[in-house]
Amino acid sequence: MDSRGSILLRAAEIASVDGLEGVTIGRLAVELGMSKSGVFSHFGAKEELQISTVHAAAEIFAREVVIAGGSVLDLAGRWLDYSKRRVFPGGCFFVVTRSEFAARPGRVRDALMLFNLRWISLLEQLCGDAQMAFEVDALLAAADRFAVLYDDASAYERVRLALRARIAMPTGTEMSVATPKDSSMASHASSTSWPPM
């Protein structure tokens, strides 16, 4: 891998944990044993570094999740595996960064939004339904955040079950897939006050 590729890979790894604002030329220089001017020469400005990081993460995501094709369940399964294997140490790069930049207009947000629009469009093509595509994306993101926050990989299997149940349902007949004996953290937390102090 060339030095630009190494810089962008490390930048994407950092961003998955600390967000794109945590990616700085100085930090990358220290972590990669390079001079600041050596890192700077590849990008020129922090915004260019951030946008290039989004593009590099999109290429990794495409290779890990999208390229093999298949059904929406195949795609979702690869997405869950990509998150579970921690291709990016903080979980899905795009779940982290799209939240970070959702309300911040600018070129970085535009790059993230374009990626997300393409992702949702692919889900819609495979699902044949915009609502289901929205739900699939939401379930995948929920699995990623739950697994990372609680260091609990059971979220991946729970989402696999939910996706199979949801995709098997005819549109318009959606219902909860939770069971009365659900031992989720939410059911344990129901006896505590909200908000927690």
- Max CA pair span of the chain: 59
Instruction: State the pLDDT at residue 70.
Output: 94
Separation of alpha carbons 21 and 70, rounded Å: 35
Instruction: State the pLDDT at residue 140.
Output: 98
The domain limits of the chain are 3-168
Distance, C-alpha 62 to centroid of its chain: 12
Instruction: State the pLDDT at residue 177.
Output: 45
Instruction: State the pLDDT at residue 172.
Output: 59
**94 touches 109 (CB < 8 A):** no
Separation of alpha carbons 150 and 146, rounded Å: 6
pLDDT tens for the chain, 197 residues: list them.
Answer: 789 999 999 999 999 999 999 999 999 999 999 999 999 999 988 999 999 999 999 999 999 999 988 999 999 999 999 999 999 999 999 999 999 999 999 999 999 999 999 999 999 999 999 999 999 999 999 999 999 999 999 999 999 999 999 988 766 555 544 444 444 444 444 444 423 44
Domain 3-168 of CATH type 1.10.357.10: yes
Residue 12: its H or E element: helix 3-18
**Tokens 């939004």 — which residue?**
113
Distance, C-alpha 83 to centroid of its chain: 8
- Burial label for 45, CB within 10 Å (0-12, 13-18, 19+), is exposed
Amino acid at 150: Y
Among 149, 20, 43, residue whose Cα is nearest residue 93: 20
Q: Which pTM was predicted? A: 0.84
Separation of alpha carbons 75 and 59, rounded Å: 16
Instruction: State the pLDDT at residue 171.
Output: 60
Tokens of 132: 């289901």
Instruction: State the pLDDT at residue 170.
Output: 66
**20 touches 56 (CB < 8 A):** no
Distance, C-alpha 174 to centroid of its chain: 25
